[in-house]
Chains A and B, each alone.
Chain A
């Protein structure tokens, strides 16, 4: 910085006002004349052609591009496969096991969301073995977790529909056990959880616990968490790359946790809310939605969704504003947006309050 010292001391006020800049005429011509058009519209390099793979699904012969998953092949053919932990903008982690299918010659059922198709593969999506497995997985989830708000995409309903389709009966393990005290589950060490006995055996173990409310933007209700890992992926290398959360503990004590289980304000969290955006069960929720639900004023039938553009920086993130009673109650981003892939930052997701100020802050109100 020593080179700065060469310039004379500027006047105390009035600043630095050099002579007006005059561009040389030939440069001026370049910078004030349309530059010309390419002869061809620019395109990305062509993608390597993928060869087609032919396989059997439910007795139908199906051809899909090499590298597709069984799930992609099924959905391309209109064959419905339930999913909870899969999302189009995240890498499959195949943990929820509701998408399992039967592959001929394979000892165990295969997760459709991540298993790649192979030539000649013979896949059954509706066999008794598949249906029984999905039924039990759904029963385990529904008996231990509050799935009242669960749905894989646009919220609500799908999980309930899956329960019905597969005849799942979560109540067959007995009435749900009562909630743990705040911090109790986090205190469990490895090997803590044992098979219930005595009076415990008459009820179904649950992950019920108090809601974590430690900041003004979003809440964590882990009574509703099915450990699908989507929030971990969105916080990690699938989107935000902040790595504020991970799965801690083992077995039934496994849970989503910040480092050392600190509160969010003390963690690495940067409040992008991308975990909320991918959560399939309502475990992660805008505080505004949480409070409105608690007050009984949350009414999705009275909400409209309008697509617009974030009012902050120049990236141009697409926002879906969820509005109830002329008030923004939630912000999401469409997963098919080439700008956002469904992900936002703290300003885009939570920074809308300034518009809603209807007090003296906004003239004319």
Chain B
């Protein structure tokens, strides 16, 4: 945010803050060790607000649970903002000194009256007012979120709505106050930092910013196209148009991880050529023309990852990879060699030192210092710099060095897949503690808690549709259908059902989900599918 994509706070700050808003995140199950820090904060007296359609195991620890309707986050955030402004609790000193476009923002949120927000979100107006006042008056307050915010067609707007709240109250750039996306994979943060985004080169060098691009061109001694590339959803569209005919997939399993599996698979099969480089023969690898077996990056190779508090950490080789499997870096160097470019010996530290030349925020991180300090949090500008505990402290200075932070007004935009008489139930998706994404990794160990895929449903709906625990049903969306056993979950409200993506070989949840994507981030709306539930005929005894 504000030009640097990373969580602003450190984990230790969650232990010493006064208020935590956990928004669209079931961190108790998806980020358990961050939740340890958060619980220490709760035990130290912090108030915890959980904003989530489900009353999750995280929400059970909260002082207040705001069970909003799926996809109404912006309405709720704007309603909170209006309440803060009307109560005279906006931080005018901070707004005047450190931000731009406040008047536009105030005008936008004025339309979000308590009556409207209660109607759009399903959250009682008193609970919204309580959160607004508690957040605005806390000495230190942080907002943490996960995919409940970002797996929507308007993901970026959702994030902006939360950033706006922090600007309205000045809860950013201070110890214990901040904005923290909890990253879902061990190197989501690092991948973005290293330029695995269509508009960026490594080290936040925006490809369309001439000065930043030229920094990389000078180091690499070549010209770089000055326009952004495609994100994943753009690529799928390009496949439909026939503009993209060859694909090189490294460590992804889009056949199972992307929304609307039928469509995804048809698109990938339409390619002239697909290479998959993975540690497993995934469902995607099975339809590839060439499979390059890779070493497991966390235990069979050297390198770094970056976590949700911006800490660059070393991963090390503990095991010899099997057979012909090779380090990703070696494979890429070897491909370059076959294309006529000899980059020399593949070395993780060598690649890292090359990054340090183009990325000012990583410049001070030598392997030796990463080792010595147990990882370093970016930015780290030189070898005497300790790294930074929290970001944007400049916004708390007077005058503010550099650019002021802009309010970006955003409007409520409900989920794309509408609820109708034919599809009256909202299906949302998520993860469980002992499993992970498409289950390729977590399927390898025998968790005593694993029970396979279920359709989690509120006791009220189970009664309404005449369904019993364990009964198999058919779940139908506008795109596909699956059969799955029912499980009652009192944490769900009537009209809301839940499934995971962990058991795609058994229950292909992504036959149901849709590929409505956020035009800014390319993220698909996994969190909001319209479905109906059909009872199966009694099975005929064999």
- Check if B401 sits within 8 Å of A355, measured CB to CB: no
- Check if A347 sits within 8 Å of B436, measured CB to CB: yes
Q: Is B114 an interface residue (CB 8 A)?
A: no
- Check if A1 sits within 8 Å of B514, measured CB to CB: no
Per-residue CB proximity of A33-45 to B under 8 Å, as 1/0?
1111111111111
- Closest residue of B by beta carbon distance from A31: B3
- Closest residue of B by beta carbon distance from A360: B281
Q: Is A161 an interface residue (CB 8 A)?
A: no
A225 to B36, CA, bound (A): 26
The stretch of A138-146, A178-186, A198-206, A305-313 in contact with B is A305-313
- Check if B299 sits within 8 Å of A5, measured CB to CB: no
- Closest residue of A by beta carbon distance from B420: A5
A339 to B312, CA, bound (A): 12
The stretch of B347-355, B381-389, B456-464 in contact with A is B381-389
- Check if B311 sits within 8 Å of A339, measured CB to CB: yes
A216 to B450, CA, bound (A): 12
A33 to B205, CA, bound (A): 9
Q: Is A50 an interface residue (CB 8 A)?
A: no
Given A33-B209, A42-B389, A311-B441, A355:B403 Cβ within 8 A = no
A254 to B436, CA, bound (A): 38
Cβ of A202 to closest chain B Cβ, rounded Å:
42
Q: Is A343 an interface residue (CB 8 A)?
A: yes
Cβ of B17 to closest chain A Cβ, rounded Å:
12
| B residues less than 8 Å from A9 (CB atoms) | 418, 420
Cβ of B497 to closest chain A Cβ, rounded Å:
12
Cβ of B433 to closest chain A Cβ, rounded Å:
6
- Check if A357 sits within 8 Å of B444, measured CB to CB: yes
The stretch of A62-70, A104-112, A314-322 in contact with B is A314-322
Q: Is A261 an interface residue (CB 8 A)?
A: no
Given A15-B516, A41-B388, A316:B70 Cβ within 8 A = no
- Check if B298 sits within 8 Å of A355, measured CB to CB: yes
Interface range, A side: 35 or more
- Closest residue of A by beta carbon distance from B388: A42
Q: Is A345 an interface residue (CB 8 A)?
A: yes
- Check if A21 sits within 8 Å of B2, measured CB to CB: no
A164 to B320, CA, bound (A): 42
- Check if B318 sits within 8 Å of A361, measured CB to CB: no
Given A13-B479, A364-B293, A346:B433 Cβ within 8 A = yes
The stretch of B86-94, B130-138, B182-190, B332-340 in contact with A is B182-190
| B residues less than 8 Å from A44 (CB atoms) | 12-13, 16, 175, 389
Per-residue CB proximity of A18-38 to B under 8 Å, as 1/0?
111100001101111111111
**CB neighbors of A among B286-334 (8 A):** 291, 293, 296-300, 305-309, 311, 313-326
- Check if A4 sits within 8 Å of B317, measured CB to CB: no
Q: Is B227 an interface residue (CB 8 A)?
A: no
**Tally of A-B residue pairs with Cβ under 8 A?**
334
**CB neighbors of B among A252-290 (8 A):** 264-265, 269-272
**CB < 8 Å neighbour of A316 from B311, B426, B433:** B311
Give the most central of A313, A345, A363: most B CB within 10 Å: A313
A343 to B429, CA, bound (A): 28
| A residues less than 8 Å from B433 (CB atoms) | 270, 345-347
- Check if B314 sits within 8 Å of A1, measured CB to CB: no
**CB < 8 Å neighbour of A339 from B11, B39, B175:** B11
A354 to B397, CA, bound (A): 49
Q: Is B153 an interface residue (CB 8 A)?
A: yes
- Check if A15 sits within 8 Å of B260, measured CB to CB: yes
Given A9-B418, A217-B448, A312-B186, A354:B441 Cβ within 8 A = yes
Q: Is A127 an interface residue (CB 8 A)?
A: no
A344 to B433, CA, bound (A): 12
- Closest residue of B by beta carbon distance from A365: B322
Q: Is B430 an interface residue (CB 8 A)?
A: no
A311 to B516, CA, bound (A): 29
The stretch of A79-87, A113-121, A152-160, A233-241 in contact with B is A233-241
- Check if A308 sits within 8 Å of B314, measured CB to CB: yes
Per-residue CB proximity of B426-456 to A under 8 Å, as 1/0?
1000000110100011111111110000000
| B residues less than 8 Å from A339 (CB atoms) | 11, 33, 307, 309, 311, 375
- Check if A306 sits within 8 Å of B317, measured CB to CB: yes
Given A35-B2, A314-B189, A355-B299, A309:B313 Cβ within 8 A = yes
Given A10-B417, A41-B385, A304-B318, A315:B281 Cβ within 8 A = no
Q: Is B208 an interface residue (CB 8 A)?
A: yes
Give A residues with C-beta under 8 Å from B: 1-10, 12-21, 26-27, 29-45, 215-217, 237, 239-241, 264-265, 269-272, 304, 306-318, 321, 323, 326-328, 336-341, 343-348, 350-358, 360-365
Extra contacts besides A45-B175, A364-B325 (9): CB < 8 Å: A6-B414, A10-B417, A21-B520, A37-B379, A40-B393, A312-B186, A314-B182, A315-B31, A362-B280
Q: Can you sample 23 A-B contacts with CB below 8 Å?
A: A3-B120, A4-B414, A14-B263, A18-B519, A32-B199, A33-B3, A35-B3, A41-B386, A43-B175, A309-B305, A314-B184, A314-B187, A314-B189, A316-B305, A318-B313, A321-B299, A350-B445, A351-B442, A351-B445, A354-B440, A355-B298, A355-B300, A363-B293
Q: Which 3 A-B pairs have the closest CB atoms?
A: A36-B402, A314-B183, A316-B307
